[in-house]
Structures are given as structure tokens and as C-alpha cells.
Amino acid sequence: MKRPKGRGYTYERGTPEFDAKVLATSFNNRDPGRRPNVLVEANDIFDVVNALARARRENLKVSIVSGGHSWNQNHLREGDLLLSMARFNQVEVNPEQKTATVGPGVWAVDLDKAVKKHGLFFPDTHAVDVCMGGYLLQGGFGWGSTRVGPATMSVIGVDVVLADGSLVHADEQENPDIYWAARGSGPGFFGVVVRWHLKLHPRHKFSGMIIQRFGIEHMDEVYSWAHRMGPEVSNLVELQVAMTHKNGIEVFAPVLASSWKEAREAVRFVSQSPLRKKATYTTPLIPASISLMSYMAIFMLFPPDAHWCTDNMWTDAPMEQLLPHIRKTRETMPPHPSHALWLNWNPGKQPPRPDMAFGMESQTYMAVYGEWSDQADDDKYSGWATERMTDMEPVAKGIQLADENLGRRAARFTTDERLRKLDQLIAKYDPQGLFQSWGARVELPTETKGA
């Protein structure tokens, strides 16, 4: 989704520009065939309130988009009112209080630039053009999260327009149940976020990465080593393993540290790995800003105008149970730059979690990304990610909402207890079901639904 230009307008289904405007709200270049009845590009809170009033009046459900990075295009629903929050892209930084307020349409790269000027940091997304709206609602899985926790832990307040059109502020003291839900419910949230209030952190003095590449023949050894090392890796490092047809197996170790010396020590497990002699190459520790690393990720793995399918899982399974699935993923993977990601999340080395809707994580995160450029290949490849993660369900704990495909595969994204609470809050704040929700979900056991 491109940066919005000029003032936003309302587009009715059937008008000449409608299809192009609707499809432009999605990063995924696939056309799912679903169309809302109306697209409202909101310019201010009054536009949001008026859009919800129209939806109530015309009995339309409401879906919301800010940056359009929903891989499964959750915001594109048939016959509803699509509300774009992309123009809510203001950033205000208070360096004395180490806080910021941002709109849901703020790009990650813009927030990072704004806080960097003051020597501050926020755990932004790994892609420069992901916006804060969906990112923070679903948990916030980004740079520095292994050190400060999911980005939603750094949310200290939220301003929301509810289904009845009222504007409320929510934080730990005021409307705490809305605040609880805004941190991790994702597309199941029962309101329109118009402003986030964020806690900022002292900025790292050094950022960079070390990269190690292996031929595919070393796949089993590399994954086994990464899995074995995971619990010992410093929380300054995001240990990742990416597998592609073109590049084989690549170990990435981005690091955010207080000094070059500290960073070098944190990635020593890569530079002095027992597998180093088998690597095609090992880079030195390369200084790079997090914005540069984000742009590198887009260039290497996430090109624009691609057709996508993706899915993911959290797992604590031993590597001997995971390896057969990793091999199958490699054998069936669509052409480059399709890829599989293994990430050492290691929540035990992160700050304790507050009580919030976000509640599904484990030692290891795995995701698969199928991408292709020709619409004629949609039927051929669109089910690949779902098939791979369906096969892996016996070794999965659940999913992260960010890279999920709930439109195709129901999966657990939080605990039963939290999901019960979310159901109760949706019934309280959106009793008529104005807002669209998750594409699907694993239902609660019958005996606990009313608990």
C-alpha cells in the first residue's frame, strides 16, 4: 500500500475508480474477489464517526485498514463498509517524558526517524511500510522485541471510537478493559483506534547484523544448531534462519546493543559457530540502522506487487519432530523469493508480560511465505502455506496474528481464558456486531463458552 496523497474521499461500489481504490489498500497483489459496498478514506475523527453512523443506518458491517499488510486480506470483506485509516499518520514525540502519540496510519520508518532524533527507540516493525494500526493491535513483533517484549507492551494508552460513535480514551486506569483488548486482539478488536500513546525506550548505540550462508545440503545441521543454541542466545539478538531456493539456508543475527564490543560478543555464537567451516560465507559484524535492515528485508524477501500466501506457528517441539516438516516445506516451496522463516523468540529472556489480550508465544516461531508474480499461478500456489501449517498442527502450540491465514485455517491465537474475555467485551461494546472480526478461529470448548 502506497503512502496516501491529498485528502481522502468516499467511493461507492460500481463507480469507475472503486475497484482500483479498494485493491490499492492491500499489500498483497492478489485479488480475492471480495468487494465492500463502500470505501471511506477517513481524514479525521469526524469522518470516522460519520462512517460508523452510516454503517449502522444502512446495516453494513465495518472492516478497517491502516497499512494493508494483512497477508490474508482480512479487511477485504464482501458487502461491508471499508474504513481506511491510512491518513491518520501524525507522530508527536515528547522527549522529556519519553512518550509518543501516533496515528494508526503511521509507517514504521517514519516513527523510527521521529524518535531517533531524540536518542529514543520504539520496537518498530521489520518492514518500513507496515503501519501502527494492525501492528500494535495484534501484538507487535519487531526490532528489539526480544529485549523489550512485543511492541504492544509499550502501549500506554489508546483513543478509540466505539461502535456507538463515542470517542473514549483507555489506559490502565481509564477503561482498562478496552486497553486490555487493544493489546493483542488484532482484527477482533471492537472499535476504531484513532491514536496510540506509546512508551519510548533509550536508543541502542549500535545496530547491525552478521550473516552466514549455507548450501541446502547442510539444512538439517543448521536448523539443529540454531534450535540447540536458541535458549542461550542474548536477547539483544534476533536469531533467524531463512530458507529459499536461490540462497539456500541463511542465518541472520541482527543485534541492537550499547556498543560495538557488546554487539560483537552477542553474535560470537555465529562468528565462532562449529558449522562455520561448512558455510559458503560468513560476513563480519556489519553496522546498519534498523531502517536499512528493514529495506534490505524488503529487497531480498518481500518485493512489492507480489501475490502472497502465508501462515505460521509457535512451537516448543524438539527439532527431530520439526525436521521432517522443514524438509517437506523445502520440497514443495513455490519459486524464489518464497521462503520459510525460523525465529528464536525465547520469551523466557524477555520482560514479564502484563495482563493483555496477547497471550500466545513459545520458544520458536516458524512461518512460510509463498510469493509469485503471475495471477495465473494463484490457484497453483495459494494453498501452499495453509497445507504446510496444517501438516504441522500436531507440533504447533498456536499462531501469531501477524502472519496468519485465518481466512483459510482456523488456529489458536490466544489462550481460552483470554478468548472468553474478548468474547465478553465484544458483546459489551459491540452488541450488534458492527465490526468484522477474525476470518476464523478455534472455538472455545462448549462447556466454557458461558464461563
Average pLDDT score over residue span 156-185: 98
2: pLDDT confidence band, cut at 50, 70 and 90? Answer: confident
Average pLDDT score over residue span 97-116: 97
Average pLDDT score over residue span 138-153: 96
Candidate from 15-24, 232-241, 403-412 with smallest mean pLDDT:
403-412
Q: Give the chain's domains with CATH numbers.
A: 10-84 (3.30.43.10), 91-202 (3.30.465.10), 206-403 (3.40.462.20)
Cβ contact 371:338 at 8 Å: yes
Q: Which of 79, 107, 114 is nearest to 4 (CA)?
A: 107
Give me the phi and psi of 158, to 5 degrees please: -150, 140
445: pLDDT confidence band, cut at 50, 70 and 90? Answer: confident
Which cell is 248 given?
539456500
* 124 CB-near residues (< 8 Å, 6+ apart): 108, 109, 111, 112, 142, 143, 151, 290, 294
Cα-Cα-Cα-Cα dihedral sign, residues 169, 170, 175, 177: positive
Q: Which of 172, 142, 178 is nearest to 160 (CA)?
A: 178
451: pLDDT confidence band, cut at 50, 70 and 90? Answer: very low
Residue 7 pLDDT > 70: yes
Q: Burial code of 155-178, b = ≥16 C-beta within 10 A, e = fewer? A: bbbbbbbbbeeeeeebbeeebeeb
- For the chain, give the percent of residues with pLDDT over 90: 91
Which cell is 341 given?
522463516
163: pLDDT confidence band, cut at 50, 70 and 90? Answer: very high
447: pLDDT confidence band, cut at 50, 70 and 90? Answer: low
Residue 450 pLDDT > 80: no
Cβ contact 352:150 at 8 Å: no
Residue 3 pLDDT > 90: no
Cβ contact 240:210 at 8 Å: no
Unique residue bearing C-alpha cell 467511493: 11
- For the chain, give the percent of residues with pLDDT over 70: 98
1: pLDDT confidence band, cut at 50, 70 and 90? Answer: low
Candidate from 99-103, 116-120, 289-293 with smallest mean pLDDT:
289-293
Residue 27 pLDDT > 70: yes
Per-residue pLDDT of 230-277, as tens digits, reads 999 999 999 999 999 999 999 999 999 999 999 999 999 999 999 999
Q: Note if the pTM is more than 0.85.
A: yes
* 256 CB-near residues (< 8 Å, 6+ apart): 121, 143, 144, 147, 204, 206, 207, 236, 263, 290
Mean pLDDT of the chain: 95
Which cell is 40 given?
471511506
Residue 101 pLDDT > 60: yes
